[in-house]
Amino acid sequence: MKVFRVASHDFDAEYFEDAPDDLFCPDCGTLLKPGVYVPKKVGGRAIKSGFSHSGDGIVYASQDAKDVIDRHATGNFDFIQVNDKPVKYAFFFHDNVAFDAQRTGTRFLDKCGQCGNFESIVGVTPGFLKPNQEIGPFSVCRTDLVFASGREKGPFLIVGEELAKILMVHFPKLHFDELTTS
């Protein structure tokens, strides 16, 4: 069974732009309280490829993408509408898969003395997941690690092979990276 990371374009928006600072570590910028904050509105361009992401690691979906995911995907995920015109949803996927940082060569930089997280987690290709994980053909999940630096960190959106095929048909501008699972 193949598994894919879904890569999308940044659409020039910040989910946490007006978020209170106490959600983040003051030293390294790591989000300490996920799932607490919902913005009143998110700017940025319209989402033309189904999915997009903000500079602070949040994945967004258009109405069409939400409909496809709701119709076909399995897993623990939810959408929070953050705009009316154009309609945009923040897409949160909660089932974790273990990213094999050692095999991939991922680097953990600048461990924070205050929160214990790393300021930066970098080096994600080629992507390996740890073996013996159940990722169904229509699964939507996320990596257990968040990548990038400071407030820009976010997980990867991972999908099973059959869901990837559906998304490729509906959203041909998306990029899919196959991850090694063994």
Neighbour tally for 38: CB within 10 Å: 12
159, 3 contact by CB (below 8 A): yes
Pairwise CA distance, residues 139 & 113, whole Å: 36
Residue 156 per-residue DSSP state: P
Read off the pTM. 0.89
Model pLDDT for residues 13-22, shown as the tens digit of each residue: 788 888 889 9
Low-confidence ranges of the chain (pLDDT < 70): none
Using one digit for the tens of pLDDT, what is the confidence trace for 95-122? 999 999 998 899 999 999 999 999 999 9
Question: Of 81, 77, 95, which is closest to residue 42 (Cα–Cα)?
Answer: 81
Please state, in angstroms and rounded to a whole number, the distance separating the CA atoms of residues 12 and 20: 20
Instruction: Identify the H or E element spanning 165.
Output: helix 161-170
